[in-house]
Amino acid sequence: MWPLHFRTGHLFIEISEGLWLFDTGSPKSFGSVPALTLEGVEFELSDNYMGMTVETLSGFVSVECAGLLGADVLENFDFLMDTLTGNVRLSRDEFDFIGNSVTLDEFMGIPIVTTGIKSNEYRMFFDTGAQISYFQHGLLTEFPFTGEVEDFYPGFGQFQTKTYDVDICLGEGDFTLSCGTLPGLLGGTLMMAGVEGIIGNELLKDRRFGYFPRRNLLVL
């Protein structure tokens, strides 16, 4: 079992080398060390991803990080995570966990969920590296305006977005999530993947959940 921290809207696993951002939205991991061993499996790491270094990442999330755990590492394990008590279990074996089961698709290793918004279905990335959610659709402004948020994206940097409280159905659960829009070309990359938004970390706050990428399953 490892300590799990929810800080500045982001998830971090505390490993001996420090705090690692848990980021399902990044295909690649990187860190301040050349290799990381989890549950007896060693992973070689780059010192950056798309030009983002540990120092840059730490500045963006306002937390000193040892690195980022992306899909290339996460896809090897089952995870039971509890942001209420602040702990995470990971294993090469399969965990049993009963709850709201959400089937995952994927694009380049990044998980995709199917959501319901105003009786229509939309495919969205499940990105634990995003502190808020995003909805690239004209319907967004029909929901209550909640203010502006500053966020970042690897290879793009920081940006600001207006946010709205959007009612979203995910699996058998109903949620209200703060959603913004991604700027310009960054938003266009979603269309290339056939998705219309991102489900971010707000979904996971004060919750126990299971993330099982090898079985294409998220259980809330």
CA distance 102 to 99: 9
pLDDT above 70: residue 211: yes
Q: Is 74 helix (H, G, I), strand (E, B) or coil?
A: helix
Mean pLDDT of 171-177: 97
Read off the pLDDT of each residue in 36-44 and give the average, rounded to a whole number.
95
Distance CA 39, CA 204 (A): 24
pLDDT the model gives residue 23: 96
- What confidence tens digit (pLDDT) does each residue in 73-87 have? 999 999 999 999 999
pLDDT 10s digits, 58-71 = 998 999 999 999 99
Is a pLDDT exceeding 80 seen at residue 156? no
Task: Give residue 41's pLDDT band: very low, low, confident or very high (50, 70, 90).
Answer: very high
Name the 3-class secondary structure at 202: helix
Domain ranges of the chain: 2-91, 101-219
Question: Of residues 185 and 172, which shows the higher confidence score?
Answer: 172
Per-residue pLDDT tens over the stretch 144-155: 999 999 887 766
Percentages helix, strand, coil for the chain (3-state, rounded to 5) are: 15, 50, 35
pLDDT of residue 20: 98
Report whether pLDDT(157) > 90: no
- The percent of residues in the chain predicted with pLDDT above 90, rounded, is 83
pLDDT per residue as tens digits for the range 20-38: 999 999 999 999 999 999 9
CATH of 101-219, one of 1.10.760.10, 2.70.98.40, 2.40.70.10, 2.60.40.1240: 2.40.70.10
Q: What is the mean pLDDT of the chain?
A: 93
Tokens 């319907």 — which residue? 139
Q: What is the pLDDT at residue 155?
A: 66
- pTM of this structure: 0.94
Nearest-angstrom CA–CA distance, 23 and 74: 9
